[in-house]
Structure 1
Amino acid sequence: MKTIKVGIIGSGGIAAQHAAAYAKLPFVEVTAVADVIPGRAQQFIERQGLDSAAAYESHEALLQQDVDAVSICTPNVSHHRTSVDSLLAGKQVLLEKPMSVTLAEALEMADAARATGNMLSIGFQPRYDPNMKLLQQIVQSGRLGHVYYVETGGGRRRGMPGGTFISKELAGAGAMADIGCYSLDMALNAMGYPRPLTVSAFTTNHFGRNPIYHPEADRFEVEDFGAAMVRFENDVVLQFKISWAMHMDTLGSTMFLGTDAGLKVTPYGSGPWSGVWDGKVGSMTMFHDEFGGHTSTEVPLIHHELNLFYEKVRDFAEAVRDGRPAPIPGEQIVIQQAIIDGVLRSSQERKEVSVELPGNVVALPVVS
């Protein structure tokens, strides 16, 4: 069996999860770690027990090494440059979400993957929940009829991060990109990633800028709440809302309204940090008419004990080994990035904005 040599770029908290997942795969060896902070990569190697790995202080130095693939676990602002450089260096790429900061960056990243033939896979582990796959199956089966309205999003009563997450320079965006990307992927993937036409949005950071609620209020530069209405090509509208903090217990369930039936989906978990689509499904209920009357049906959920993060890393590593396409192709996630870009532009300009995408941007099927 061929050994896949992997490099990890960025050695923060999420990188540790990548290292732990790779350690469970007998055909993978982590041979390099890079971090721009001097000494940090070596500390990560020692902490994770990566005896065969060498430390580097730039992704450029790591990319000169004999590695087949890289996990990119850096702050959002560096996703674009690091991914493009990795693809051009002949590496297969697993990139943590969000894909990028701007739409222009995402388009260049997708173009680089297309031009080189190397994979750019984006890290949305909730797709590996069997119930997320069931949700997609229900929506795409036609059982709901024509889906004309979708509402999604998540809201933490309190769940504001700090550090690089709240810096405009390093993160690019706040709650919209951090946890909103999960909500968007769930809804858009179920619908087959239709092309967006316009976005009308509103964002605020009332909580992040208030020292009563955040210890780093003086350096809080991104949004902690946002809401948007998105119009798509196929006569569908999406209501999207997200919150890191609010005086409310929930922003509601995700719902798909169709001409023949509706589907209501609740997130898994409870507590102030819950209510976000970064993990499992809590429940699914279908609303429909039977024999002239209203009825509802609880959709039986699939019980599982899967570690979704491990499943994401495993699928990527096996795709590298087997020469398969990217499990979650960046060329598809460009559409999501276009929406987030539209949200930020609309909020800043205080008006509805158009979403312009090149003709070669299409919703690629996911290979499972």
Structure 2
Amino acid sequence: MNPRRHFLQKLAAAAIAFPLLPAEAHLSIEKQATETNDGPPLRVAIMGLGSYGTRVAEAMKDCKRARLTGVISGTPSKITSWQSKYNIPAKNCYNYENFDAIKDNPDIDAVYVITPNGLHHDQVIRVAKAGKHVICEKPMAVNAKEGQEMVDACKKANVKLLVGYRMHFEPKTLEIVRMRKDGELGKILFFQGLSGFTIGDPTQWRLNKQLAGGGAMMDIGIYSINGARYMIGEEPVWITAQETKTNPQKFKPGVDETIQFEMGFPGGAVASCLSTYNMNNLDRFFVNGDKGFGELQPATGYGPIKGKTNKGELTQPHTTHQTIQMDEMAAIILDGKQPIVPVDGEEGVRDLKIIDAIYQAVKTGKKVELK
């Protein structure tokens, strides 16, 4: 391991070793792993047992195709808690030093990596080398180079790499995508994406450059980048961006507070977006065509998503995003299902290339052309 990787692991307390917890009599995943009417389940281990990992685990209780069967963590007390809460046997519990042993565990088909961004690269590659499919939380990596290395490693290992783009399965979002694809919005002219909130604890990993890879852009701005792409249906060809920083004590060098950015698309559409860690009430997508429009507000929160189009209010029912996501990802991995909006590693790299270009535009003050 090179010094940077070692530093990141230490910084995240990710190399804490502990003995496997004793097996508890009668604790089995047999009930969880039984076949459903839709086919065999995807047996998933969650890596990183923080707040979002917990949200995913709770949502998976209602999944039809995905089952939580293992955990990977650097905190022994969390493993103990999850064992009893989710009926996970000790043989399916790992730490960050020994999780390569999942290679020999038939109870685990895939690992969902939900750790700080700066750790994704090495952890995903290790999971791939262990022969397991990977779901990685977004952003997939801290830059496009690392993201591409992750894609290449998973292809070499013949495992799938998916990214936690939960909005790609959200019904109201998909209805606007459908309208755009069917020509109901006409020629797309404009997109606006507002993504932001006021971040709290200044000591959290999201404000640490080494662990987060940046600031608000990596965490929340990526929603507007991704949303512009699937709402417009094209890839941007140029980018401009400007950064505003009002609190350099909280937002250290390399950790962006607020960035306004614009993207131009080959069909002539323009996207105007805002990413910030210093303003609340910013969660809105608006796409405008010469025949109609679509609006979501809130657009990317945990729900319920609300929206309307030129035809009226969107009324698709709300279901927990992570429940839909994990069932759909199980179908992608097990059945080869093709999602309406991609969630593969290549999709993750596309967003990372745009983030790289945004940071370059901020640094140079110039328009950045994208190939």
- TM-score w.r.t. structure 1 length? 0.78
Q: Of 251, 254, 272, which residue of structure 1 is paired with 2:285?
A: 254
1:283 corresponds to 2:307:
yes
Match of 2:365 among 350, 358, 364: 350
CA distance in structure 1 between the partners assigned to 2:57 and 2:307 by the alignment: 32
Is contact 1:72–1:95 with CA below 8 Å preserved after alignment?
yes
Residue 315 of structure 2 aligns to which amino acid in structure 1? I
Structure 2 residue corresponding to 1:202, chosen from 242, 265, 269? 242
Deviations, residues 133-182 of structure 1 (Å, cap 9, x unaligned): 111012222223221322212233x3446511110000002111211222
The whole-number CA distance in structure 2 between the counterparts of 1:42 and 1:187 is: 39
Closer/same/farther in 2, CA of residues 3 and 303 from structure 1, 3 Å limit: closer
- 1:279 CA drift (Å): 4.1
Shift, 1:343, TM fit: 0.9
Q: Which residue of 2 aligns with 1:127?
A: 168
What letter is aligned with 1:233?
P
- Residue aligning to 1:338: 353
Identity, % of aligned positions: 24
One-letter amino acid of the structure 2 residue matched with residue 118 of structure 1: V
- Residue by residue over 1:24-60, the C-alpha shift from the partner in whole angstroms, topping out at 9 and shown as x without a partner, is 447655443222x352552453463333243322264
Q: Structure 1 residue 240 and structure 2 residue 281: aligned?
A: no
Q: CA RMSD in A?
A: 2.8
- Separation (CA, whole Å) in 1 of partners of 2:336 and 2:216: 35
Structure 1: give runs of 5+ residues left out of the alignment.
211-216, 269-274, 287-296, 357-368
Letter paired with 2:245: N
Which of 293, 296, 305 matches 1:263? 293
- TM-score, normalised by the number of residues in structure 2: 0.77
- The Cα shift of 1:189 comes to 1.4
Maintained 8 Å contact 2:41/2:330: no
Match of 1:240, SS state, is strand
Q: Structure 2 vs 1, CA of residues 143 and 32 (structure 1 numbering), >3 Å: closer, same or farther? A: closer
1:109-133 Cα offsets, whole Å, 9 max, x none, are: 2333444442211112223221101
Give the AA of the match of 1:190.
M
Tell me which of 99, 105, 111 is aligned to 1:70.
111
Cα contact 2:136–2:163 (8 A) shared by 1: yes
Change (3 A) 1:238 1:174: same
1:140–1:25 distance in 2 versus 1, CA, 3 Å: closer
Runs of 4+ in 1 over 6 A off after TM superposition: none
Q: What secondary structure does 2:362 align onto?
A: helix
Does structure 1 conserve the Cα–Cα contact (< 8 Å) formed by 2:167 and 2:300?
no
- Pair 219,154 (structure 1): closer, same or farther in 2 beyond 3 Å: closer
The number of aligned residues is 326
- Over 3 Å counting, the alpha-carbon distance change for 1:242 and 1:218 in structure 2 is closer
Among 46, 49, 69, the residue aligned to 1:11: 49
Tell me the residue number matched to 1:313: 326
2:79 counterpart of 1:42:
yes
Q: Is the 8 A contact 2:113 2:124 kept in 1?
A: yes
Partner of 1:51: 88
More moved, 178-187 vs 110-119:
110-119
In structure 2, the gaps of 5 or more residues are: 1-34
How much has 1:231 moved relative to structure 2? 2.2
